[in-house]
């Protein structure tokens, strides 16, 4: 990301298997444990990669925000095509550097 001059944040991610488990209580517990994001796919993809003994690199970007008084949908379900293209190009640029 530094080579590409792209700002980023490093932090822990909480993974869950269902949106209904993203309760205010669970979110506060995970935040107190140092998590800055939540997602629903990475753990299963990582488990499969470990089982198959293959390297896997996961690329996350923000879509919505749960860490506020009212939910902020941000880009969730409404991402412009140029953002999708930009994120894909960034992921490919990172992949060729690994």
pLDDT in tens, 44-95: 888 999 999 999 888 887 777 877 788 888 877 787 888 888 888 999 999 8
Please state, rounded to an integer, the average pLDDT across all residues of the chain: 85
Q: How many CB atoms lie within 10 A of CB 30?
A: 19
Q: How far is CA 88 from CA 6, 16, 39, 92, in A?
A: 14, 24, 18, 6
pLDDT band for position 13 (50/70/90)? Answer: confident
pLDDT at 71: 80
CA 39 to chain centre: 6
């Amino acid at each position: 990301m530094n080579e590409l001059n792209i700002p980023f944040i490093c932090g822990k991610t909480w993974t869950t298997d269902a949106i209904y488990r993203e309760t205010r209580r669970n979110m506060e517990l995970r935040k107190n444990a140092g998590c800055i994001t939540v997602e629903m796919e990475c753990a299963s993809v990582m488990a499969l990669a470990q089982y198959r003994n293959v390297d896997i690199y996961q690329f996350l970007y923000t879509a919505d925000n749960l860490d506020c008084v009212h939910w902020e949908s941000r880009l969730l379900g409404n991402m412009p095509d140029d953002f999708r293209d930009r994120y894909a190009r960034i992921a490919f640029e990172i992949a060729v550097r690994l």
